Structure 1
Amino acid sequence: MAAAMEHIREVENVALGRASKRDPWVVQSWLRCINEHRLDPTRACEAFILSETELRFHRQQSEELISIARSGLEGLYTQMAGQNYVLLLGDSAGVAVEFLGDPNFDHRLRKAGLYLGAEWSEPRAGTCAIGACIATGEALTIHQTDHFDVTHTPLSCTAAPIYDTRGEFAAVLDISLLSSPIAKASQNLALHMVAATVRRIELANLMAQTRHEWVLRFSRSPDFLDVDPEAGVSLDGSGRVIGMTHRGAQILARAAGVSWRRPELLIGQPLGRFFELGVDDLGELTRQRPTHDRTVVARDGNRLFAHAIEPQLRRTRRAPAPAPVARGALARLGAGDRQIAALQAKAAKLAPTALPILIQGETGTGKEFLARALHEASGRRGPFVAINCAAIPEALIEAELFGHAPGAFTGAAPGGRKGLVEEAAGGTLFLDEIGDMPLALQARLLRVLAEGEVTPIGALRPRRVDLRVISATHRDLPAQVRAGTLREDLYYRLSAATFVLPPLREREDFDWLTQRLLDGRARLSPSASASLRARDWLGNLRELGNALAVAVALCEGGVIERADLPPEPGQTPAFDGEAEALRAVLARCGGNVSEAARQMHVDRTTVHRRMRRLGVAAH
């Protein structure tokens, strides 16, 4: 309490214009919090987590950047392993759209706001690394009591800005600790590593965005020029600047004597404005020459080593490759239904990728069939391994999934046992009813997805696994996330791509489906076909398959009549009204089945079959 009051007094002294030993960007942020954002240092700014709908919108807006940045984030997280750091990728609004952290600290991280969907803008959270980075455009550390709000003073956060190829602020990479050494200098290495990761992300983005143009990359050392350059600039065919990394913008701005904060003064300018170099000289800077010979001189006298990368040729004359066609099991998903046709086209494109896929749909809509079809079309040589998360007792599911080392627990196999995750190596792991996975195991599954490693129970070292994960559920997963029974970060890891199977009652290819399920064993009479189409089919394809199997067994002469169909679930048992009507006819005929058949305009075998099915006796 005393420390909190001391911190509040220091903030108030800064507001009064008194001197402070804090870094200038901390003081400036405190003043913005008071004067612009109207925040009160005596009132807590608790962590704010966006709703699932709002977060999905922010992630969709940043989808391309997340894809490019992910490998850099995972590489940095691996480098900092064991030091309890959390990585956040914040968008330009300060919302964490990607997250990497130790699942064992999940509750504490969420409470502190070091979590997916947390908003760290200055107006919302006060002085913080992401917010200050957005405000200044600079890499910085906000360490413990640098934070404006006492709620956040245990944290140490380091952030660096990510700029797009036009020089505009795009995102923030933040690396944070729930607690750290008192000295702010302890985070100098973190600052260096975050800045280096951002530099590599921006270069990767530049290369991806301008692969058909010249790219000029720079380094102060010839030894790192080709392997880890410091900056990059892309040029059109006439030698004008069309893209740049942040460090590239700084080099250009210094050469031209302008501010890098005004990218419009850099984009579109000829290369000669910045260097003693023209577009015709770029060929001399390719890898055909030794790195130490590839030097350029900027207009301000700055001498750099440069590497020119030639444009990739555009294949304009060749017809575009045809879209993947659904074949095999994918083609057997349906025929003539517009929703299924769109799903088949999407599945044919995504099947060969390694993206995790979530299949949603009501019970019995064919989720496992789609999962197997995706595996078949993936080209993966490993097995398809399915596990129903709702069918295995909670006490056994961990060992089933992850396996165990010899003697890991009482009753363990003497030689240990591979889990289903390892069994699926090289293939596909299908997690049916993922919404029923116990919360404690979700953290372990998340680690498998994030790091490609599995640690059996009792094992000392993790094992590498290369597999594709497909999950399925009939549950409302966003609602489970809100209720806290499903980890939010796991949900987004599993649902890189999502398929929604329509219920049977909405499908336009009902007749095709019934014919496929009958497989030539029988045919439907018009009345039976009309009866089937009129049902609700709450059990979907599974219920339809069962109903047809019963009808095939009961029908005579290979023709399924309406009377051969089982009742709908929830109806009064066994067509009570039909049974009473049959008893009445038999009573009028004195129990004579042949006469009853004549009055009912059917043959005697049909009457006998209905009597058996409805439990009606002749007398």
Structure 2
Amino acid sequence: MVSHADHIREIERVGLGHSTGRDDTVVKSWLRCLEQHRLDPTQACEAFIVPDGKLREHRQQSEELVTIARSGLEHLFKQVAGQNYVLLLSDREGVTVEFLGDPLFDNNLRKAGLYLGSEWSEWRAGTCAVGACLETGEALTIHQSDHFDTTHTPLSCTAAPIYDTAGELAAVLDISLLSSPIVKASQNLALHLVTATARRIELANLMAQTRHQWVLRFARSPEFLDVDPEAAVSIDGLGRIVGMTNGGAKILARSVGVDWRDPTQLIGQPVSRFFDMEIEDLPDLTRRRPTQERLVFARDGNALFAHAIEPQMRMRSPQVSRDQIPAPLRRLGGDAPEILALQAKAAKLARTRLPILIQGETGTGKEHLALAIHEGSGLKGRFVAINCAAIPEQLIESELFGYLPGAFTGASAKGRKGLIEQADGGTLFLDEIGDMPLSLQSRLLRVLAEREVLPVGGLEPRPVQIRIVSASHRPLQSLVGQGLFRQDLFYRLNAATLSLSPLRDRPDFEWVLGEILKRHAVENRPLSVSPPALLALKAHNWPGNIRELDNVIAVAAALSEDGILELADLPDHLAAPIGIDGEGHAGSTLRSMLASCNWNVSEVARRLGIDRSTVHRQIKRYGLSQGH
């Protein structure tokens, strides 16, 4: 056993750049402890247990994952029964939210920090398995004197990460011993067991979260495919990746040569980008076919056995007609079932006081939806919209909270009521909330928790009753994981989420187009669109969404001679690919559409509103081929 003095000297030598026989993972963690966390190896720290109230918050936030993980934890605990192991499930902040251990050793375990509520973040506890796993995202063992803090050097701890379906690190599963053999390799079996359990928990979570989507499970051996798959991804009805286990993320990333740690390059992408298959091929990978025949090929040439699980049928809810949707919400979309379902959900939420988060790309109409929710809420107060990305950071505090007379140089002699207070009795809409500075997030959290506002320069808070609707084009959950958005504020704002589809994915594209045409019609002259121009509009990807379409139609209406919008009236970047050549309008349009969809026939068919077989016939008719 290494003495405390020798252990401290070794850490100090590493800090000076000297080599050591430790694993690279341990050395890097020691350096983080010294250089980033400013920890002193000579100062031993007792294990930190969070207060009961704080522990309840952490457990509530992790409740769904703990429920899904519990069966896996109990199975693992039975596997190591009688060997004095302790199991800890920690959240993404390193706080233990679930614990399995021998009750005979409760006092010793609590003192060592192997207990419910213990915090094992690296900045708090130094080098440890949970903290290092949170930092690296990889499974590892921190054995005895690998620990930074001498308090923990008797322990041997092995941890594996658990990722959520969006590819973000959600929790860490740790298996630890109060004392163990000197040799670190003695924990190799523990590393295997904890990694396998984390993989199964991820798979169970994916199956629970995406039961109404296709799930594609993978294994390198056909014998284990149906009983213990190595990885899985979930796929929506349009053939896009919508969820994955960590193993699934690595398969996807490897197939196209990107970093699996950046889930934005994987989620939302068509499955055909990663595998030589389309969504129509999934039924051939179900159990109807022998396991040995269910083989798929990744774009990097890697062959995998695959098992496709069909979506569970949703319970049919009573059909919602447009007449049952409040008028403000009804004006936001057509008759497509997906649009009606969104409007019906928004109508129900509007009658509550729950905070709502609206997610969607820029230009999808998030503020229009927020206003419609306010108008359908029955609230008597105002709808006050704040663009958190547009107000200069030095002014945002006074804009939001107001100020008293003479609160700062240049302040109005009468003071000013802040935007939050102006929304008293109504709805406060926080647009692009993801761009709010962290310092202001803390003050906003206090407003939401205490329902009162303290103006700049004031001493007495003022009570406010407001309904919060927020919006962002950025994934707030990812911002939380990056430390750019407060987790506690995220949970305050995210009681209910409404997701607005990008224009290119909306089934009511022609309805949206029709409404915009009405808006830009002049006098009694209606506007219409010629067939070639309509094809060009449908072929475009619309990165600016409804806002971009509105601008395009405004320009085309100004250029049109007779109210019929032609190709020549459209902006060059829309009209150019549809120019007349030997193929004619339809052939050129189809070639342009295929190119913009990377020759994904299913995506082309969806955008044009026709069958895949029709697309294939048109490709053959015009003699089109990829790369020509």
What's the TM-score, normalizing by structure 1?
Answer: 0.51
Query: How many angstroms does 1:317 deviate by?
Result: 3.3
Please say if residues 240 and 270 of structure 1, whose CA atoms lie closer than 8 Å, have aligned partners that are also in contact.
yes
Please list, as runs of the form range in 1=range in 2, the aligned pairs for 1:434-583 lying within 5 A after superposition.
none
Q: Given that residues 91 and 172 in structure 1 are in contact (C-alpha distance below 8 angstroms), is that contact kept between their aligned partners in structure 2?
A: yes
**Distance (Å, rounded) in 2 between the aligned partners of 1:319 and 1:27:** 61
Alignment size in residue pairs: 320
Asked if 1:101 is matched to 2:93, the reply is: no
CA distance in 1, matches of 2:73, 2:94: 17
Aligned to 1:148: 148
Q: Are positions 1:270 and 2:304 aligned together?
A: no
Opposite residue 166 of structure 1, the aligned amino acid is A
Partner Cα distance (1:71, 1:318) in 2: 35
Q: Deviations over 1:83-122 (max 9, x none)?
A: 0000000000000000000001110000000000000000
Q: Does 1:188 align with 2:188?
A: yes
The one-letter code of the counterpart of 1:260 is W
SS of the aligned residue for 2:306 comes to strand
Counterpart Cα distance in 2 of 1:153 and 1:261: 31
Counterpart in 2 of 1:131? Answer: 131
Corresponding residue for residue 122 of structure 1? 122
2: CA distance, partners of 1:310 / 1:229: 16
What does the per-residue CA deviation read over 1:317-376, in whole Å, with 9 as the maximum and x for residues that have no partner?
Answer: 3599xxxxxxxxxxxxxxxxxxxxxxxxxxxxxxxxxxxxxxxxxxxxxxxxxxxxxxxx
CA shift for structure 1 position 316: 2.5
Maintained 8 Å contact 1:109/1:178: yes
- TM-aligned CA deviation for residue 311 of structure 1: 0.5
Matched, 1:246 2:264: no
Structure 1 counterpart of 2:191, one-letter code: L
CA distance in 2, matches of 1:95, 1:202: 19
Is contact 1:295–1:304 with CA below 8 Å preserved after alignment?
yes
Any gaps of 5 or more consecutive residues in structure 2?
Answer: 321-628
Give the C-alpha shift of residue 45 in structure 1.
2.0
Equivalent residue letter for 1:220: R
SS at match of 2:243: strand
Alignment-mate amino acid for residue 301 of structure 2: G
Query: Partners in 2 of 1:180 and 1:304 — Cα distance?
Result: 39
CA positional deviation for 1:256: 1.1
- Which amino acid in 2 is paired with 1:151? T
- Please give the residue correspondences for 1:315-330 in structure 2 after superposition, counting only pairs within 5 Å: 315-317=315-317
Please show how residues 242-391 of structure 1 align to structure 2 within 5 Å.
242-317=242-317
Distance in 1 separating the partners of 2:129 and 2:158: 6
Amino acid at match of 1:92: R
Q: Does the CA-based 8 Å contact 1:45-1:126 persist in structure 2?
A: no
One-letter amino acid of the structure 2 residue matched with residue 64 of structure 1: E
Quick check: 1:218–1:225 contact (8 Å CA) kept in 2? yes
Q: CA RMSD in A?
A: 1.3
Question: Which residue of structure 1 lines up, in the alignment, with residue 81 of structure 2?
Answer: 81
- SS of the residue corresponding to residue 223 of structure 1 reads helix
The 3-state SS of whatever aligns with 1:173 is strand
- In 1, Cα distance between equivalents of 2:247 and 2:293: 22
Q: Find the counterpart in structure 1 of residue 20 from structure 2.
A: 20
SS of the residue corresponding to residue 116 of structure 1 reads coil
| 1:513 match | none
TM-superposed deviation, 1:21: 1.1
What one-letter code is carried by the residue in structure 2 that aligns with 1:75? H
Quote the offset at 1:2 in angstroms. 7.3
Q: Residue 183 of structure 1: CA displacement?
A: 0.4
Larger Rg: 1
Name the CA distance, whole Å, in 1 between partners of 2:30 and 2:313.
Answer: 51
**Separation in 1, partners of 2:315, 2:78:** 38
Residue 341 of structure 1 is matched in structure 2 by: none
1:520-546: per-residue Cα shift (whole Å, max 9, x none)? xxxxxxxxxxxxxxxxxxxxxxxxxxx
Query: Per the alignment, in what secondary structure is the counterpart of residue 269 of structure 2?
Result: coil
Structure 1 stretches of at least 4 aligned residues deviating more than 4 Å after TM superposition: none
Q: 8 Å contact 2:2–2:145 — kept in the other structure?
A: no
Distance change in 2, residues 1:167/1:2 (3 Å):
closer
102 and 319 in structure 1: CA distance in 2 versus 1, 3 angstrom threshold: farther
Superposed displacement of residue 46, structure 1: 1.1
Query: Does the 8 A contact of 1:233 with 1:241 survive in 2?
Result: yes
* Counterpart-to-counterpart distance in 2, 1:223 and 1:127: 40
Contact 1:140–1:191, Cα closer than 8 Å, also in 2: yes
Kindly state the Cα deviation for residue 20 of structure 1 after the two structures are TM-superposed: 1.2
2:88 aligns to what SS in structure 1? strand
In 2, are the aligned partners of 1:96 and 1:118 still within 8 Å (CA)?
yes
Tell me what 1:519 maps to. Answer: none
Does residue 35 (structure 1) correspond to residue 35 (structure 2)? The answer is yes
1:189 aligns to what SS in structure 2?
Answer: helix
Alpha-carbon separation, structure 1, partners of 2:248 and 2:302: 13
Deviations 1:406-448 (A, max 9, x none): xxxxxxxxxxxxxxxxxxxxxxxxxxxxxxxxxxxxxxxxxxx
SS at match of 2:216: strand
Q: SS at 2:242's partner residue?
A: strand
2 CA distance for matches of 1:254 and 1:183? 34
Residues 493-552 of structure 1 show CA distances to partners (whole Å, capped at 9, x for unaligned) of: xxxxxxxxxxxxxxxxxxxxxxxxxxxxxxxxxxxxxxxxxxxxxxxxxxxxxxxxxxxx
C-alpha separation between the residues in 1 aligned to 2:170 and 2:102? 26
Give me the whole-angstrom Cα distance separating, in 2, the residues matched to 1:169 and 1:299: 26
Code of the residue aligned with 1:111 in structure 2: it is K
Please give the alpha-carbon distance, in whole angstroms, between the structure 1 residues aligned to 2:34 and 2:251: 35
- Pick closer, same or farther for the CA change 1:211–1:19 going to 2, 3 Å: same
Is residue 161 from structure 1 mapped to residue 152 from structure 2 by the alignment?
A: no
1:464-502 Cα deviation digits (max 9, x unpaired): xxxxxxxxxxxxxxxxxxxxxxxxxxxxxxxxxxxxxxx
Matched residue of 2:3: which SS?
Answer: helix
Q: 1:41 and 1:309, CA in 2 relative to 1: closer, same or farther beyond 3 A?
A: same
Distance 2:318 2:281 in 1: 31
Letter in 1 for 2:306: A
Distance in 1 (CA, whole Å) between partners of 2:147 and 2:28 is 12
Offset of 1:133 from its aligned partner? Answer: 0.2
State the distance in 2 between where 1:188 and 1:9 align.
28
Q: Distance in 2 between matches of 1:318 and 1:46?
A: 58
Whole-Å separation in 2 of the counterparts to 1:270 and 1:204: 23
Report if the CA contact (8 A) 1:92-1:171 is conserved. Answer: yes
Q: Distance in 1 between matches of 2:318 and 2:139?
A: 45
Partner of 1:227: 227
Contact 1:45–1:124, Cα closer than 8 Å, also in 2: no
Superposed CA offset, 1:564-591 (max 9, x none): xxxxxxxxxxxxxxxxxxxxxxxxxxxx
**Structure 2: distance between partners of 1:2 and 1:284:** 59
The residue aligned with 1:170 is: 170
**Aligned counterparts of 2:47 and 2:37: Cα–Cα separation in 1:** 17
Task: Measure the CA separation in 2 of the matches of 1:107 and 1:292.
Answer: 53
Partners of 2:210 and 2:85 lie apart in 1 by: 33
Give 1:339's aligned residue: none
Q: Which moved more, 1:308-317 or 1:51-60?
A: 308-317
Q: Report SS of the residue matched to 1:171.
A: strand
Give the letter for the 2:236 counterpart.
Answer: D
TM-score by length of 2: 0.50
Looking at structure 2, the residues matched to 265 and 293 of structure 1 have their Cα atoms a distance apart, in angstroms, of 30
CA distance in 2, matches of 1:206, 1:256: 23
Over 3 Å counting, the alpha-carbon distance change for 1:101 and 1:319 in structure 2 is farther
- Decide whether the 8 Å contact of 1:33 with 1:126 is kept in 2: yes
Distance across 2 between alignment mates of 1:302 and 1:228: 20
- Report the Cα offset of residue 286 of structure 1: 0.1
Aligned match of 2:326 = none
* 8 Å CA contact retained: 2:95, 2:121: yes
Q: What corresponds to 2:6 in structure 1?
A: 6
C-alpha distance in 1, partners of 2:150/2:233?
A: 42
* Identity of matched residues, %: 72
Letter aligned with residue 291 of structure 1: T
